[in-house]
A = this chain, B = another copy of it.
Amino acid sequence: MIDYRLLQALAAVIKNGSFEKAAKHLHITQSAVSRRINRLESLLGEPVIVRCQPPRATKTGTKLLNHLQQVQQLEVSIGVGFQPDDPDNNLPLTITLASNADSLATWLPEALAFPGFDSEKKLSFDISIVDQSVGLNKMKSGEVMACICDSSKPVNGGLSRYLGDLQYQVVASPNFIHRHQLNGIKGLHELPCLVFDQDDQLQHRFLQKYCGHAPKYIHLCPSSEGFKQACIAGLGYGLLPTLQIDDAISAGALVDLRPDYTLDTSLYWHYWQTESEQLKSLREHALAISRRVLPQSAT
């Protein structure tokens, strides 16, 4: 049987980004953390951590983290508590979840408040934002318990469920349209384009398809609300979720550049087969909310 304190030390180093912070998190000394990692490596006969800044898990280390994640969920689902000597004893279970930014800015928060999530104060969310196209990497590496992304294909040991489509509209502010004498989307690729971050290809895909070019220059604005406000301020045009801009369009602060058109992205909920009861409740609630709020197209 694996000594899970060793895996917890590994997880703490990777999660906190250093041996020093891991020690603080585990309430043990830094040399105790090192000893646990060394013990793990000598048991396995190979390294689990690449010693760079921040430290990262080797392939074997990643497998172990993935395994630890699943074991922790199993423990929760069979009602077994943490070890008495565990510093995390009596702390709530942390649900790690990777989400695309637009879900977190629109339909997801309501879904997280699933019935019973709060009743025993035993749950705590640790949400990370990753582009919908790369979120699955966090599942593969065992960093998260669930993930919302645009791929339907489950990872090894995982399953996926269709949530619904997030619909996007191409919008700009009235002053932007006036300043550039914009007529629909003609020549849009010549104008400044708002993009969430380096991973965000939504605008590129749209322009390539309808204007035949990639955007000539872009502003990177990695905040859902900031992206919307930058659009309203006339910094550029961009694709924004219909759910997020209904009010701004009604108020005339944003104009739909291609009426009756939406770019639809199908979203999926990814989870582990060894899902705990709590995560199952969360997933079922998330699906109920998403099916009410997001248009359903996939079979």
Contact = CB atoms under 8 A, between A and B. Distances in A.
Contacts of A85: none
Contact of A105 (B92, B192, B223): B223
Nearest to A191: B121
Q: Which of A126, A223, A230 has the most CB of B within 10 A?
A: A223
A191 B227 CA distance: 32
Number of copies: 2
Interface stretch (A50-58, A64-72, A139-147, A263-271): A50-58
Contacts of A121: 191-192, 216-217
Nearest to A129: B222
Interface in A214-239: 216-226, 228-230, 232-235
Interface in A225-263: 225-226, 228-230, 232-235, 244
Q: How large is the interface on A (under 10, 10 to 19, 20 to 34, 35 or more residues)?
A: 35 or more
A219 B127 contact: yes
Q: A interface, by DSSP: helix, strand, loop or mixed?
A: mixed
B118 A179 contact: yes
A179 B118 CA distance: 10
Interface stretch (A3-11, A34-42, A109-117, A150-158): A109-117
Contact of A223 (B129, B179, B228, B229): B129
Interface of A: 50, 52-53, 56, 91-92, 101, 104-106, 108-110, 112-113, 117-118, 121, 124-129, 179, 191-192, 216-226, 228-230, 232-235, 244
6 contacts: A52-B53, A104-B229, A105-B223, A121-B216, A121-B217, A124-B218
Given A52-B52, A113-B233, 5 more contacts: A101-B223, A105-B223, A121-B216, A223-B225, A224-B226
- Kindly list the 10 A-B residue pairs having the minimum CB-CB distance in the complex, ordered from nearest: A52-B52, A104-B226, A109-B229, A105-B225, A125-B219, A225-B225, A109-B230, A109-B233, A104-B223, A224-B225
